[in-house]
Structure 1
């Protein structure tokens, strides 16, 4: 792995790339509000003629995240597409549902704040029990509300029956208004520990990058740069897709030392091309 180059602002490298894939939580915003300068930086990057996809491990669909970002104060039109793992998964389930002719499948949905949008428009029957579910859709975590044992009790019957699980948010740590909590990815790990099988959708897995690059018209991957705060998801995912990357030191690794970051580079077999203190122009 090559040594990452420290930069103090995004404008230092913007001309090297035609498109940017930018993470939401930890780069543009925390669990409460936009980071200082993030709104302006996104606008200035778009004004520089760059294609921009907000690439997020959110179990919610793209349109809902798009609206939420505008409500938080980001400028509509300063990105081209808000692509979420939830959107990719919804499209997969839509296609799979068209091939099913033996009745409606029962889905145990694990989401946040009662959100049912991951199932909207799909020919699925929701169930509250793992005992009769045909599959589990793991879209979000309420790890700031419930302990992991709550999810173990809910999911154990499904895992015991060998019910497949689709995890649409691989993040193992999430940012909340009260700080960090375990994310949907940790619940998916728990499901595997209980003996169940998980199909992972989102960063660092291939499906979401394939959708992003298809939207961009299959550009030269070395002219595409991913920006994120997670080495495991953003940096490793970019490396697997053949993209360049920037690690910002806000977000989940805000308090990590340089040595701790280097250990994570080695653990996940990926190092960013650049390290940026925060998302600023």
Structure 2
């Protein structure tokens, strides 16, 4: 990390000539737990109309197509992004690739922890879903219902699996999530709990390398110097961009909406990553 301070910009319009592609976070940038941020859909469409390649890069345990549908229902134009890449999609493809090695063996018993009854992380795979950690062969942490259940609920569910050394795959590393009523602990916090209980976790999503490698592969020959990541989390979006050798824009909406400049600076130091740019939100120009 350097001691340089991020350049303040009035919006993404100021970056349109500097980059050819953008990796844009979903929650905290385009929307919160209640719905879209003002001007977010318009700004995304305008960025696409400027000829930019756009990948929405999300720590969502849901498959990509589920997020495509959800964002379109909120009023975003599906033509305004090239691909909605989720950590859930990356994990699904990894699990699918591993199925070949299990040919002839009985299906894995999986404790899937998700949200809204979502089973897309395991649909179509040779996996049987179980209801508790005591009988699971693998744990899949796709989402949190931290706004419904306390952390102790997950501790009781997971402790038997951790004691048996059952492997865990966390497909949503976010430790804080945005809900209609504010913030709650995310799947990443549940994964931390599993490690605290003695279990082993494989992390998929930002800030880890797998999801950036898949995004870079999709963008083909676009050089790193012409790709900018946009997010609201220093721990996930900004640190992830830095680890991937990409530029970044921090928007001060989302989980850090109430943070002071000093608090954000402390997080830069804690996570060893400073964004190249900072803006008040995902707008084309804040003066508009």
Q: Do these two structures clear the TM 0.5 threshold for a shared fold by scoring above it? A: yes
Q: How do 1:56-135 and structure 2 match up within 5 A?
A: 56-101=58-103, 102-135=105-138
Shift of 1:222: 1.2
Moved more, 89-98 or 216-225: 216-225
| CA shift digits 1:181-213 (9 cap, x unpaired) | 000000000000000000000000000000000
| CA shift digits 1:70-99 (9 cap, x unpaired) | 000001200000000000000000001111
Shift of 1:219: 2.1
CA RMSD, Structure 1 to Structure 2 (Å): 0.7
Q: How many residues align?
A: 281
| Structure 1 unaligned regions, length at least 5 | none
Taking structure 1 as the reference length, what is the TM-score of the superposition? 0.99
Q: How do 1:71-220 and structure 2 match up within 5 A?
A: 71-101=73-103, 102-220=105-223
Q: Equivalent residue for 2:235?
A: 232
The CA distance in 2 between the partners of 1:29 and 1:219, in whole Å, is 27
The CA distance in 1 between the partners of 2:59 and 2:262, in whole Å, is 26
Q: Secondary structure at the match of 1:16?
A: coil
The CA distance in 2 between the partners of 1:122 and 1:161, in whole Å, is 24
**Residue 46 (structure 2) pairs with residue 21 (structure 1):** no
The CA distance in 2 between the partners of 1:114 and 1:47, in whole Å, is 36
Q: Equivalent residue for 1:8?
A: 10
Q: How do 1:38-53 and structure 2 match up within 5 A?
A: 38-53=40-55
4+ aligned runs moved over 6 Å, structure 1: none
The CA distance in 2 between the partners of 1:64 and 1:111, in whole Å, is 13
Q: Secondary structure at the match of 2:79?
A: coil
The CA distance in 1 between the partners of 2:275 and 2:123, in whole Å, is 37
| Structure 2 unaligned regions, length at least 5 | none
Taking structure 2 as the reference length, what is the TM-score of the superposition? 0.97
